[in-house]
Amino acid sequence: MTRRVLLSALTLAAFATIPVLHGTAKEDRAADRLSRIKHIVVVYEENHSFDNLYGSWEGVNGLDNASAEARTQVTQAGVPFNCLKQVDPSLTTDPKVTNPPLSAICSDTTVPDKAFTSHFFNQPFTLDDFIQPTSLTCPDGKPNGAPGGCTKDLVHRFYQEQYQLNGGKQNRYVTGSDSVGLTMGTYATQQLPIYRYLHQPDHPHYAINDAFFQAAFGGSFLNHQWLIAAASPVWGNGGKDVDGTDLHSFVDANGMPVSYPLYTPPVGSVLKDAQLTVSCSSPATPRDVVCGDFAVNTSQPTYQPTTPNKAPRMPPVDHVTIGDRLNAAGVDWAWYSGGWSNANGDVNGPGWTNGGGPLCADPNAFGAARFPNCPDKLFQFHHQPFNYFKSFAPGTAARAAHLRDEEEFLQLAQSSKTSCNLKPVSFIKPVGAENEHPGYASESNGSDHLVELLTSIEESSCAKDTLVIVAYDENGGTWDHVSPPGLGGPDSAHDIWGPGTRIPSLIISPFLRGDFVVDHTAHDTTSILATIEHRFKLAPLSTRDAQVRDLSSVYLAKSPFDTDDRDEDQRDR
């Protein structure tokens, strides 16, 4: 856990950092190649750890490198389980849940009052052996739904992830989850559409970064905030809702705010798993737990688009974002979100599908929607980080110019056959059905959509000077074997907020040292900010993005099959 301390909104002191090196021949070479990039495109996907998705990609630090300690999940007392308890409808031995049920080949009495049987021993397993892209398990992993091979969703929240990491031992994902054994499921990497796309003839040159971590512990809301601001937002009104309801969490002696199938809080614990960190005035809070009025779990915005009839809503915030930095420097940019025109009420804008009113015409519109705000049923309001900021409030020029629909990006890319029409910086956020999120989205369908986005860029004239960064917001509650920086992992910037679990990251770019390279340099989500800042000469937003390495390190990486250890300058002689 991290030290218990009250911080101001903008004071994010890093307790251990590494300097960014400048001036060496290698660093200069990397910086020069970054300077030749004219367009940076960030595709922000959802909820997978590196091992869960890319763990069997060739040449990476993947599943084959996982230690026995990290693979073996333990009880809250530290005793290894014999089996993996399963509650996903496709993975249980319970005939009331799974039809037909899986065979019980393993029994577990490690925790006497929580005995169970399972088809799975205590080790990672391949989801594709049980759930195929054709399986009718969407949405939310339930049988007899829609095709796509969805799993159950898994808990992915601020305090739970820190418990699961267990100080970098990586062995309490099962105990700290509502989805227990599903946390150890992995996808057959070679079956992913993105893998097949990048292994076809004449594929674009790409890099896999196998040391990329989510910026902050926890879930999507917080990591989207870190993607654009490198900071955890403060909830106004002293951490209370407008009716005076206290929105702070309460945790037990282990730092957990809730009980789960294999986790039992100490007797007498007062628990509350809420939007905010615990209050610093709570005497029962362990001293190593982050406290204050920080919004760390899913919180709804005040501004439209926001979930209809759902409260509380987070008061708008006003600290600086990367959008503010780009605007001040005169660098054009946009956040392109799938379904934005429908959700924001941009009638007849790119992507609009709801007719002329007075009702929302699209059958996929949110049930409680009121024209012209007609969000898709799977439009995720907390995935729109700029919508929480006063500088991008409804009616502002900044909002109209920079918060746009994903369809507009596709139109720009497709019209770029002779000259590139993309903005210098583009963020792309797919709508829920296409973002790979476990539970409501299909991994295979989301990966197909990712290929569509990449193809639109690679088939345009923009490819020659565009850097595409594909990153995932957070691990979605799934296990990874590599310890994060600050918890025994690679040497990189870290502080009380993270980084958290390792996540997938790939980069498509000209100027790489081959058609496929693996970058082992440690990065986190704020490395995306650092890359934009360094390319366009912008000031950093916080101590983290000031200290983390930028992604120009990919220009120094080499193929995992390259046995020539000479420096590039030596090769050229």
Dump the DSSP string for 522-569. Answer: -EETHHHHHHHHHHHT---SSHHHHHSPPGGGGGT-B-TT----S-HH
User: Is pLDDT of 563 > 80?
Assistant: no
- Label residue 175 by pLDDT band (50, 70, 90): very high
Average pLDDT of 188-193? 97
Using CA atoms, how far apart are residues 61 and 521, in angstroms rounded to an integer?
12
Q: Are 479 and 49 in contact (CB under 8 A)?
A: yes
Task: Specify burial of residue 397 (Cβ count, 10 A radius: 0-12, 13-18, 19+).
Answer: exposed
| Percent residues over pLDDT 70 in the chain | 94
Which residue(s) pair with 45 in the sheet? 472
Residue-averaged pLDDT of the chain: 93
Tell which residue, 25, 5, 23, has the closest CA to residue 15.
5
Using CA atoms, how far apart are residues 216 and 67, in angstroms rounded to an integer?
24
> For the chain, how many helices (H) and strands (E)?
15, 18
| Percent residues over pLDDT 90 in the chain | 86
Q: Per residue in 481-511, pLDDT tens?
A: 999 999 999 999 999 999 999 999 999 999 9
> For residues 177 and 573, which has the higher predicted lDDT (pLDDT)?
177
Q: Which two tokens stand for residue 505?
A: 């990251």
CA–CA distance from 450 to each of 173, 204, 227, 303 (Å)?
A: 28, 14, 19, 29
Q: Per residue in 356-377, pLDDT tens?
A: 999 999 999 998 889 999 999 9
Tell which residue, 216, 110, 111, has the closest CA to residue 158.
216
- Label residue 566 by pLDDT band (50, 70, 90): low
User: Is pLDDT of 570 > 50?
Assistant: yes
How many other CB atoms sit within 10 Å of the CB of residue 109? 11
* Helix, strand, coil share of the chain (percent; to 5): 25, 15, 60
What is the reported pLDDT for 81?
98
Q: Which two tokens stand for residue 187?
A: 């996808």
Q: Are 296 and 235 in contact (CB under 8 A)?
A: no
Strand, helix or coil for residue 80: strand
Please state the length of the chain: 573
- Label residue 7 by pLDDT band (50, 70, 90): very low
Using CA atoms, how far apart are residues 519 and 513, in angstroms rounded to an integer?
11
How many other CB atoms sit within 10 Å of the CB of residue 20? 14
What is the reported pLDDT for 568?
61
What is the reported pLDDT for 27?
87
Cis status of the peptide bond prior to 100, with omega within 30 of 0 = yes
Using CA atoms, how far apart are residues 470 and 450, in angstroms rounded to an integer?
9
Tell which residue, 164, 160, 140, 133, has the closest CA to residue 88.
140
Average pLDDT of 21-48? 90
The alpha helices in 431-542, defined as continuous H runs, are 443-458, 526-536
Average pLDDT of 206-229? 98
Domains, in order of start, for the chain = 40-64+189-231+313-562 (3.40.720)
Torsion angle of alpha carbons 379, 382, 385, 386, nearest 10°? 60
User: Is pLDDT of 5 > 50?
Assistant: no
Helix H, strand E, coil C: the string for 350-380 is: CCCCCCCCCCCCCCCECCCCECCECCECCCC
Q: Give the rounded distance of the alpha carbon of 343 from its chain centre.
A: 22
User: Is pLDDT of 15 > 90?
Assistant: no
Q: Per residue in 55-99, pLDDT tens?
A: 999 999 999 999 999 999 999 999 999 999 999 999 999 998 887
Using CA atoms, how far apart are residues 14 and 94, in angstroms rounded to an integer?
48
Amino acid identity, position 385: P
Average pLDDT of 172-200? 98
Sign of CA dihedral 395, 400, 404, 407: positive
User: Is pLDDT of 335 > 60?
Assistant: yes
Q: Would you give the DSSP letter of residue 457?
A: H
Top-ranked range on mean pLDDT: pick from 252-256, 304-308, 364-368: 252-256
Q: Are 185 and 150 in contact (CB under 8 A)?
A: no
Average pLDDT of 27-45? 96
Tell which residue, 347, 338, 471, has the closest CA to residue 404.
338
Place of tokens 């704020």: 526
Q: Are 177 and 260 in contact (CB under 8 A)?
A: yes
Q: Which two tokens stand for residue 371?
A: 């024209």
Place of tokens 């992993």: 141
Predicted TM-score of the model (pTM) = 0.94
The gap between the terminal CA atoms of the chain, to the nearest Å, is 50
User: Is pLDDT of 3 > 90?
Assistant: no
Within 8 A by CB and 6+ apart from 348, the residues are none
| Buried residues in 132-161 as b, exposed as e (16+ CB within 10 A) | ebebebbbebbeeeeebbbbbbbbbbbbbb
Q: Would you give the DSSP letter of residue 507?
A: E
